[in-house]
Amino acid sequence: MKQFAGTLATVALLGALAGYYFLVDLPQEEKELQETRQSARIVPHLLDQVHDFIYQHQDLKVCAVKEGITWKLKEPVAALGDHMTINGMLQELENTRHLRVVEESPQDLGAYGLKNPEIQITLKENTFGEETVLIGDESPIGHSAYWKTAAGPRVLLVPGFRKNWIKTLYDFRDKTLLRLKPESITALTLTRPQNVLKLEKKEDGWVLTSPIKAHGDPGAIGDLISKMKHSRAEAFVEESPKNLAPYGLAAPAHAALFSDGKDTWELLLGNAKEEGRIHAKLKTQANVVLVESKVKDWMETSHLDLIDKRVLTFEENEIAEIEIAGPSGKLHLVKSEGDQAKWAIKGAGEEADQAVINGLLFDLKEVRALEFISFGEPESFGLKPPAQTLTLKNKNGNRQSLSLGNRNLDGKKVYLARSLDNGIFALEKAQADKIFRPVDDFKNRRPIHLEESKASRIVLTYPAATFELERRDGGWNLLRPEKIKGLKPYIGNDILWTLNNLQIEKEIVSPTPEEKELASPSLALAVFDANKTPLVEVRVGPSTRDPNLLVSRISGHDAPLLIQNRFLDEVPHELEKFRNSKNSGN
Of 22 and 584, more confident: 22
pTM of the model as a whole: 0.67
Q: Do you find a cis peptide bond into 560, omega within 30 degrees of 0? A: no
* Confidence at 39, pLDDT banded by 50, 70, 90: low
Per-residue pLDDT at 388: 95
Is 31 a residue whose pLDDT tops 50? no
Is 143 a residue whose pLDDT tops 80? yes
Per-residue pLDDT at 390: 97
* Confidence at 316, pLDDT banded by 50, 70, 90: very high
Is 35 a residue whose pLDDT tops 50? no
* DSSP, residue by residue, 233-298: -SEEEESS-S--GGGT-SS-SEEEEEE-SS-EEEEEEEEEEETTEEEEEETT---EEEEETHHHHH
Is 487 a residue whose pLDDT tops 90? no
Q: Do you find a cis peptide bond into 463, omega within 30 degrees of 0? A: no
Is 138 a residue whose pLDDT tops 70? yes
Per-residue pLDDT at 449: 86
Q: Where are the domains of the chain?
A: 52-172, 182-306, 316-442, 452-577
Per-residue pLDDT at 33: 42
Of 313 and 393, more confident: 393
Would you call 56 helix, strand, or coil by DSSP?
A: strand
**CA separation for the pair 385, 139 (Å, rounded):** 84
* Cα angle 483-485-490, degrees, rounded to a multiple of 5: 115
Is 5 a residue whose pLDDT tops 80? no
As a whole number of angstroms, the longest Cα–Cα distance in the chain is: 126
Q: What is the mean pLDDT of residues 207-229?
A: 95
Q: Do you find a cis peptide bond into 572, omega within 30 degrees of 0? A: no
* Confidence at 362, pLDDT banded by 50, 70, 90: very high
Is 118 a residue whose pLDDT tops 90? yes
Among 381, 448, 449, 445, which residue's Cα sits nearest to residue 418?
A: 381
